[in-house]
Every structure is written in C-alpha cells, then in structure tokens.
C-alpha cells in the first residue's frame, strides 16, 4: 500500500510540475490530483508509516509538498487603504441560490453581480426580487446565468458553446463608465479537453478597455491553456487578492476553478474571496 501511494505521489507531482494539462491524458491527472490532494496522499502515506523508520523521509516529502503548494497558491498583495468606488461580484450559485442569497453572502449590493449555475426556475421568486429592488435591473440568460446591475443591461448576446457550456456578453455602466462583460460557464465534465473550450470562450472576447470576464472555467489557474490569455488580461485575484487562490470545494482550497480576468487598463483596488456554505464555490468580490 505504501509503495502504491508513493508511486501515486511521484507520478502526480511530476505531472503537475512538468506536463500539467498539455495533452488530454496528463490533464486528467492534473485535474484529479491538484497539489492539495497530492499533499493529502503524501500525509496518508506518512500516517501509514508513522511507526516505521521511513516516517522521517515521508514527513520530509510531505513538508516539501506543503511548502511548494503554499508558494504556488497562497497569494499575498499589499492593499492600500482606499475608498472603494465600485464593486463587481461573481459567484457560482450551485443551481439553488438566488440574487437575495448573493446579496446576503456579499453583505453589499454591488454595482454588478453575475451568477453562473443560477438555474432559478421559480419565476415567482424572481418577480418578488425584481419588485423589491425595482430601481435596479435583473436578467436571466440561458436560464442558467443571472445578471444584476444598478444600471441598464444592454447589448445582451447569449452564446451556447459546445459540450454543454454557456456564455453571455453584455454591457452596462458603472459610475457612468461603460463596461463590457463576459460571463462564462464551462462544463465540469472532464472527458472534454479544456484547451478547445477555452479557445472557443476567449474567441468571443473582444479586447477593449473596461472589459471584465467572469466565470466558472472549471480549469485551474495553473493550466497551460491560460498562458496566452495572461498576455491580454490581468488575473484579478493574483493582482489584488490575498489568501488561497483556490475557490472550490466547500471552503477547502482544492482547485482554482473560478476566475475573474480584466483588461489591462483597469485599476483594481482589492479582490476578496468569500468562503461560504451556501455554495461549493467561493464568491469573488472585485473592487474597482
């Protein structure tokens, strides 16, 4: 058993460092065995050998993996004390949470709120929310992506991508400035290669000023397939966030599946990750 676990740690760690998700087969290992899971397997191996002479070796390996994970995933940014002018919130609503739930988790009513995996089929509830916040604007696109804005939501373009993935483009104003938004929900099914889905999604994105891309990409930040997009956009959390990069699952930092990308002209003040038991995904709050 110990040898099998050691082999599993070795293969998954080498794959993470060298191959990542360059091809489909390596991507399966990369997604199923992120660093926190590799650390867990290594720690289990340590527990199985706690009474043997090998315990020092396995403890050393576990500490090395822990340090490597912290180096790769724990983000530290200096945040200046500044007044927040505007706020954008993104959240995976886990197919059961409403706009009201999102406001409660955020503890604010942001300028713009985007919910993926919304799937709120209760039209009566949505009408009640619209009545309660009558001066604001709500849209549900594809029956799966919910959008709230304090200003009118315009130029809505629903896009049904391949492999049961969805996207919506829209424009709205924040403090009298027009912003272009792209909300993306990529399938979690690992039988589909992420490279092609990311190419399709970003292929719809027009790089202009004041552009914000939010969504559940179901792809870790470390993915090789994000490399070309890092040249076009800033990753909000690595720019102005603090804490673990991972947004899933259930408050445990396992995988960084949710991302906010912004055009390079935008100045970010702060990005907060809000852990909650209301969804298996953390909420991302972007302050501009």
| pLDDT for residue 126 | 87
| pLDDT for residue 84 | 73
Long-range Cβ contacts of 67-71 (<8 Å, 24+ apart): 68/35, 69/35, 69/36, 69/39
pLDDT tens by residue, 15-26: 999 999 999 999
pLDDT tens by residue, 211-242: 999 999 999 999 999 999 999 999 999 999 99
Phi, psi for 223 (deg, rounded to 5): -55, 140
Mean pLDDT of all residues in 44-67: 94
Please tell me the distance from the alpha carbon of residue 102 to that of residue 104, in angstroms, as a whole number.
5
Please tell me the distance from the alpha carbon of residue 95 to that of residue 262, in angstroms, as a whole number.
26
Closest CA to 145 of 125, 172, 116, 184: 116
Cα dist. 199→72, 93, 202, 230, 276 in Å? Answer: 25, 25, 5, 13, 31
- Spell out the domains of the chain, with CATH numbers in brackets: 2-75 (no CATH), 87-287 (3.60.10.10)
Both tokens assigned to 233: 């956009």
Q: Is the pLDDT of residue 194 over 70?
A: yes
Please tell me the distance from the alpha carbon of residue 41 to that of residue 44, in angstroms, as a whole number.
5
Lookup result for tokens 């919130």: 89
Mean pLDDT of all residues in 105-119: 95
Instruction: Provide the terminal-to-terminal Cα distance of the chain, rounded to the nearest Å.
Output: 51
Closest CA to 213 of 257, 261, 154: 261
Query: Alpha carbon 114 to chain centroid distance?
Result: 13
pLDDT tens by residue, 120-135: 767 788 889 999 999 9
Phi, psi for 95 (deg, rounded to 5): 65, 15
Q: Is the pLDDT of residue 58 over 90?
A: yes
Phi, psi for 63 (deg, rounded to 5): -65, -40
Mean pLDDT of all residues in 96-123: 92
| pLDDT for residue 286 | 97
Mean pLDDT of all residues in 38-43: 97
Of the chain, the percentage scoring pLDDT greater than 70 comes to 99
| pLDDT for residue 158 | 97
Both tokens assigned to 269: 């003040």
| pLDDT for residue 82 | 67
Chain-wide mean pLDDT for the chain? 95
Q: Is the pLDDT of residue 1 over 90?
A: no
Of the chain, the percentage scoring pLDDT greater than 90 comes to 89
Cα dist. 82→38, 78, 149, 267 in Å? Answer: 39, 12, 23, 12
pLDDT tens by residue, 134-144: 999 999 998 89
Question: CB-based contacts of 57: which residues, under 8 Å, 6+ apart?
Answer: none
Phi, psi for 156 (deg, rounded to 5): -75, 125
Both tokens assigned to 172: 């709205």
């Amino acid at each position: 058993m110990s040898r099998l676990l050691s082999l599993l740690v070795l293969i998954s760690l080498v794959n993470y460092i060298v191959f990542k998700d360059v091809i489909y087969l390596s991507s399966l290992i990369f997604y199923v065995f992120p660093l926190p899971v590799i650390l867990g397997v290594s720690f289990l191996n340590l527990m199985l050998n706690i009474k043997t002479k090998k315990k020092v070796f396995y403890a050393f390996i576990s500490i090395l993996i822990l340090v490597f994970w912290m180096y790769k995933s724990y983000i530290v940014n200096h945040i200046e004390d500044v007044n927040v002018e505007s706020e954008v919130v993104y959240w995976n609503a886990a197919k059961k949470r409403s706009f009201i739930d999102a406001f409660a988790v955020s503890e604010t009513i942001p300028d713009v709120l985007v919910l993926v995996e919304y799937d709120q089929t209760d039209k009566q509830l949505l009408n009640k929310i619209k009545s309660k916040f009558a001066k604001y604007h709500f849209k549900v696109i594809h029956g799966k992506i919910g959008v709230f804005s304090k200003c009118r939501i315009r130029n809505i373009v629903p896009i049904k991508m391949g492999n049961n993935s969805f996207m919506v483009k829209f424009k709205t104003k924040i403090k009298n400035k027009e912003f272009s938004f792209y909300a993306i929900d990529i399938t979690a099914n690992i039988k589909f290669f992420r490279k092609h889905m990311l190419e399709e999604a970003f292929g719809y994105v027009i790089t202009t000023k004041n552009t914000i891309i939010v969504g559940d990409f179901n792809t870790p930040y470390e993915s090789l397939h994000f490399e070309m997009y890092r040249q076009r956009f800033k990753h909000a959390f690595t720019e102005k966030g603090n804490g673990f990069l991972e947004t899933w699952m259930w408050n445990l930092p396992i995988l960084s599946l949710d991302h906010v990308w912004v055009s390079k002209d935008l100045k970010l003040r702060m990005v907060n990750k809000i852990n909650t038991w209301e969804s298996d995904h953390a909420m991302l709050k972007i302050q501009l």
